[in-house]
């Protein structure tokens, strides 16, 4: 479901209600299809937070490995300047040393 990217995403600082609901709905569909998770908000928490530098929905409830040794920390929206009508959710994972890794969601 995840494909690591080598480029540094630029994240949106704030999300509007439609972006938040759209990303949650999209992730719900993807996690149900790939991992049989029925309710991602119950599983992960996903509270919305804006730090001023970027906005995110965070995994506050469980450990979930994106790939071996990399834990899912949060999702943010790449500020897709060329196509702002198509927000691109990016998964952010950390290793044990809190190094960040970025992942696009791939649809199989």
Please list, residue by residue across 57-93, b when 16 or more beta carbons sit within 10 angstroms of its beta carbon and e when fewer do: bbbeeeebebeeebbbbbbbbbeeeeeeeebebbbbb
Low-confidence ranges of the chain (pLDDT < 70): 80-87, 108
| pTM of the entire predicted model | 0.88
pLDDT of 52 reads: 80
> Structural domain boundaries of the chain?
2-91
pLDDT of 81 reads: 59
pLDDT tens sequence across 45-63: 999 999 888 999 999 999 9
């Amino acid at each position: 479901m995840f494909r690591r990217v080598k480029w540094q995403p630029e994240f949106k600082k704030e999300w509007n209600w439609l972006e938040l609901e759209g990303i949650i709905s999209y992730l719900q569909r993807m996690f149900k299809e790939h991992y049989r998770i029925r309710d991602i908000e119950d599983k992960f928490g996903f509270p919305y937070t804006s730090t001023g530098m970027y906005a995110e929905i965070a995994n506050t409830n469980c450990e979930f490995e994106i790939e071996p040794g990399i834990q899912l920390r949060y999702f943010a929206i790449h500020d897709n300047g060329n196509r702002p009508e198509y927000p691109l959710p990016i998964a952010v994972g950390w290793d044990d040393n809190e190094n960040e890794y970025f992942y696009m969601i791939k649809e199989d």
